[in-house]
Structure 1
Amino acid sequence: MLRSAIRPDSYTLPFLLLAAARYPAPSLARAAHALLGKIGLNGHDHTVHSLITMYSYLDDPGAARKVFDGIPTRDVVSWNAMMKAYGRVGMNGEVGRMFRDMVKEGTVAPNAVTVAVVLAACRDQGDLVLGRWVEEWSWSARMEMDSLVGSALLGMYEKCGEIAEARRVFDTIIDKDIVAWNAMITGYAQNGMSNEAISLFHSMRIAGMRPDKITLAGVLSACSAVGALELGSELDGYASRRGLYSNVYVGTALVDMYAKCGDLDKAIEVFRKMPCKNVASWNALICGLAFNGRGDEAIQHFQLMRNEEGLKPDDITFIGVLSACVHAGLVKDGKRWFNSLTPEFQIIPKIEHYSCMVDLLARSGHLEEAWDFIEKIPDKVDAVMLGALLAACRKCKNVEIGERVINRIIQLEPTNSWNYVVSSKIYASSDRLDDSAKMRGLMRERGVNKTPGCSWVEVSGKVLEFYAGDEPQHGADDMYQVLDLLVDEMRLEGYVPNLDVEVLPWASVYAAIHCLVSRSLQVGCVLDAKFVSLWLGWHEPEMVYSGNMDAKWLLMQKWVKLYYFSEASALIKFARIRSRKRAATVPATKPARQTPENTPKAAARRDGGTLSAT
Structure 2
Amino acid sequence: MPVRDAMSYNFLIYCFGSNGFYGEVLNVVCSMLDLGLFPNFGSILYAIMACGEMRSLESGILIHNYLIQNGFGLNVRIANSLISMYTKLGRLDLGYQVFNDMPERDVVSWNSMITGFAQNGKGDEAFDLYLSMKNVEDLVPSRVTFLGLLLACGQVQNLNMGKIVHGHLIHPGLMSDFRLGTSVLDMYLKCGEVECARIIFEEELLEKNLVSWNSLLAGYSQNGCDWEAVFLFQRLLSESNLKPDSITIANVVPACARLANLQMIRLIHTLIIKKGLQLVSDIVLGTSMVDAYGKCFDIKASTFLFTCSRKQNAAIWNAMISGYNLNHSAYQGIELFTEMLRYEVLPDTITMVMLLQSCGELGSLKQGSIIHGYCFSKGFNWHLTVSNAMMDMYIKCGCIRSSLILFNSMCYKNIVTWNTLLCGYVRIGRSAMAIDLFNQLQWETQHRPDPVTMITVTQASSTGSANHGVANSLIDAYAKNGLIHSAWSLFEQMGKSKDNSSWNVMLAGLGMNGYGRKACALLSQMEEDGYEPNSITFVSLLSSCSHSGLIDEGCYYFNLMVTKYNIQPCLEHWTCVIDMFGRAGRLEEAYHMIQNGLPQGGDPGNLSNCAAVWGALLSACRMHVNVELGELASQQLSRLSPDNCGYYTLLSNLYSSGRRWNEAANMRRVFEDGKLMKKPGFSTVNV
Aligned match of 1:148: 144
- Deviation at 1:238? 3.8
1:38-95 Cα distance to aligned partner (Å, 9 max, x none): 8xx956x556545544665565425642564335584422221222333445544322
Distance verdict in 2 for CA 1:95–1:135, change over 3 Å: same
- Deviation at 1:210? 3.6
- Deviation at 1:380? 2.5
Distance verdict in 2 for CA 1:63–1:421, change over 3 Å: closer
2: distance between equivalents of 1:68 and 1:498?
A: 73
- Deviation at 1:301? 0.8
1:428-477 Cα distance to aligned partner (Å, 9 max, x none): 3xxx3322443455567675242599xxxxxxxxxxxxx9529999xx9x
Is contact 2:407–2:417 with CA below 8 Å preserved after alignment? no
Is contact 1:217–1:250 with CA below 8 Å preserved after alignment? yes
1: distance between equivalents of 2:30 and 2:111?
A: 33
1:85-135 Cα distance to aligned partner (Å, 9 max, x none): 334455443222211212xxx2x1231x22232233334544567545523
Match of 2:196 among 195, 199, 220: 199
Aligned match of 2:585: none
Is contact 1:21–1:57 with CA below 8 Å preserved after alignment? no
Is contact 1:397–1:426 with CA below 8 Å preserved after alignment? no
Match of 2:114 among 94, 119, 140: 119
Counterpart residue type for residue 322 of structure 1: I
**3-state SS in 2 of match to 1:25:** helix
Aligned match of 1:575: 558
2: distance between equivalents of 1:596 and 1:606?
A: 13
Aligned match of 1:322: 321
Aligned match of 1:22: 21
Aligned match of 2:350: 352
Is contact 1:358–1:388 with CA below 8 Å preserved after alignment? yes
- Deviation at 1:296? 3.5
Is contact 2:16–2:24 with CA below 8 Å preserved after alignment? no
1: distance between equivalents of 2:134 and 2:400?
A: 62
2: distance between equivalents of 1:582 and 1:426?
A: 35
Is contact 1:367–1:401 with CA below 8 Å preserved after alignment? no
1: distance between equivalents of 2:230 and 2:61?
A: 50
- Deviation at 1:303? 0.6
Aligned match of 1:254: 252
Is contact 1:325–1:331 with CA below 8 Å preserved after alignment? yes
Is contact 1:421–1:440 with CA below 8 Å preserved after alignment? yes
**3-state SS in 2 of match to 1:499:** helix
Q: Does 1:82 align with 2:119?
A: no
1: distance between equivalents of 2:431 and 2:599?
A: 57
Distance verdict in 2 for CA 1:136–1:236, change over 3 Å: same
Counterpart residue type for residue 261 of structure 2: D
1:512-565 Cα distance to aligned partner (Å, 9 max, x none): 66x8xxxxxxx82599x9xxxx99997999xxxxxxxxxxx9xxxxxx999744
1: distance between equivalents of 2:204 and 2:339?
A: 52
Counterpart residue type for residue 15 of structure 2: L
Aligned match of 1:218: 215
Counterpart residue type for residue 325 of structure 1: Y
Distance verdict in 2 for CA 1:223–1:162, change over 3 Å: closer
Q: Does 1:499 align with 2:496?
A: yes
Aligned match of 1:300: 304
Counterpart residue type for residue 267 of structure 1: I
Match of 2:550 among 546, 553, 566: 566
Distance verdict in 2 for CA 1:591–1:391, change over 3 Å: closer
Greater strand content: 1
Counterpart residue type for residue 349 of structure 1: P
CA RMSD of superposed structures (Å): 5.2
- Deviation at 1:281? 0.4
Counterpart residue type for residue 319 of structure 2: G
**3-state SS in 2 of match to 1:262:** coil
1:334-384 Cα distance to aligned partner (Å, 9 max, x none): 334323445523x33211010011011110111354255335535534564
1: distance between equivalents of 2:249 and 2:569?
A: 50
1: distance between equivalents of 2:27 and 2:441?
A: 70
Is contact 1:256–1:267 with CA below 8 Å preserved after alignment? no
1: distance between equivalents of 2:163 and 2:226?
A: 30
- Deviation at 1:286? 0.8
Distance verdict in 2 for CA 1:507–1:421, change over 3 Å: farther
**3-state SS in 1 of match to 2:149:** helix
1: distance between equivalents of 2:547 and 2:576?
A: 21
Aligned match of 1:546: none
Distance verdict in 2 for CA 1:73–1:8, change over 3 Å: same
Is contact 1:64–1:85 with CA below 8 Å preserved after alignment? no
Q: Does 1:438 align with 2:426?
A: no
Is contact 1:295–1:327 with CA below 8 Å preserved after alignment? no
Match of 1:134 among 118, 129, 141: 129
2: distance between equivalents of 1:132 and 1:89?
A: 21
2: distance between equivalents of 1:100 and 1:372?
A: 56
Moved more, 217-226 or 390-399: 390-399
Q: Does 1:110 align with 2:106?
A: yes
2: distance between equivalents of 1:471 and 1:374?
A: 32
- Calculate the TM-score normalised by the size of structure 2: 0.61
1: distance between equivalents of 2:438 and 2:287?
A: 41
Greater helix content: 2
2: distance between equivalents of 1:217 and 1:602?
A: 40
Counterpart residue type for residue 550 of structure 2: S
Distance verdict in 2 for CA 1:535–1:164, change over 3 Å: farther
Distance verdict in 2 for CA 1:168–1:417, change over 3 Å: farther
Q: Does 1:228 align with 2:218?
A: no
Aligned match of 1:313: 312
Counterpart residue type for residue 130 of structure 2: E
Counterpart residue type for residue 291 of structure 1: K
Question: How many corresponding residue pairs?
Answer: 518
Q: Percent of counterpart pairs with the same letter?
A: 9
Distance verdict in 2 for CA 1:471–1:539, change over 3 Å: closer
- Deviation at 1:333? 3.7
Aligned match of 1:163: 158
Counterpart residue type for residue 287 of structure 2: N
Is contact 2:368–2:393 with CA below 8 Å preserved after alignment? no
- Deviation at 1:412? 1.8
2: distance between equivalents of 1:325 and 1:579?
A: 39
Counterpart residue type for residue 286 of structure 1: V
Q: Does 1:93 align with 2:93?
A: yes
Is contact 1:155–1:166 with CA below 8 Å preserved after alignment? no
Higher RCO (CA-CA < 8 Å; seq separation 6+): 1
Counterpart residue type for residue 270 of structure 2: R
**3-state SS in 1 of match to 2:292:** helix
Q: Which runs of 5+ in 1 are unaligned?
A: 306-310, 454-466, 477-494, 516-522, 542-552, 554-559, 608-612
**3-state SS in 2 of match to 1:348:** coil
Alignment of 1:434-583 (within 5 A): 434-439=432-437, 441=439, 448-450=449-451, 469=473, 498-499=495-496, 504=502, 506-507=504-505, 509-510=507-508, 524-525=514-515, 564-568=548-552, 570-580=553-563, 583=566
- Calculate the TM-score normalised by the size of structure 1: 0.67
Is contact 2:220–2:229 with CA below 8 Å preserved after alignment? yes
Aligned match of 2:277: 276
Counterpart residue type for residue 264 of structure 1: L
Is contact 1:229–1:258 with CA below 8 Å preserved after alignment? yes
Counterpart residue type for residue 599 of structure 2: A
Distance verdict in 2 for CA 1:603–1:62, change over 3 Å: closer
